Amino acid sequence: MRGVRQIVGRAPGEDAQTGTNTLLDDPRFLNGLQEAGRRGFSFDLQLIPELIEKTARILAQAPDTRIALCHAGSPHDRSPAGLKDWAQELHALSVLPNVSCKLSGLGMFDHNWTPDGIRPIVEVCLEHFGPERVMFGSNFPVDKLYGDYASLLQAYRDLVPAEAHSAVFSETAARFYDLKVPRD
């Protein structure tokens, strides 16, 4: 076991019904984050842009816990204004040195995604976090609903600058999850 994962925010309408994001108001959530870090575990976090600022304040209190932001923070509003708001919110997490970002699950909110459609998300993540804190994640089998693995991987390979490939497609995840990656 390398870590734990929790969904704090999945989609605004669903979260309002399930109350998932009430975790952010529970002091046990912060205690659990801090305990994960003490035990050497990472924490994979799924949330939506509307919760990023509040979540960043909590994560700042758990600096010893490695955090992986799943699905690039779930930018569900793909309009120019929605992406601009998401990018501004994302900054609050990117300034925390213990937070990394996964490029994954981007088809969940755009079922007809294209490489050009996800380009601004990839570019913002790389700009905010740098390749040393960005990692590719497939989100399969869910991503299979919106495309095949080969097309998904190729889109990311084309969008991520070649000089960042080793970090984004291997080194960041290996370091984050403390994995032993065989060398060629």
CA–CA distance, 87 with 125 (Å, rounded to integer) = 8
Domains, the chain, ranges and CATH?
3-176 (3.20.20.140)
Model confidence at 184, pLDDT cuts 50, 70, 90, reads low
Query: pLDDT averaged over the chain?
Result: 93
- For the segment 4-15, the average pLDDT, to the nearest whole number, is 81
Quote the CA–CA distance of 135 and 132 in Å, as a whole number.
8
Total number of residues shown for the chain: 184
Helix (H, G, I), strand (E, B) or coil at 3: strand
pLDDT in tens, 126-156: 999 999 999 999 888 888 888 889 999 999 9
Strand locations in the chain, DSSP E?
A: 3-7, 42-46, 67-69, 99-103, 134-136
- Name the pTM for this structure: 0.92
- Give the pair of three-digit tokens for residue 171: 């080194």
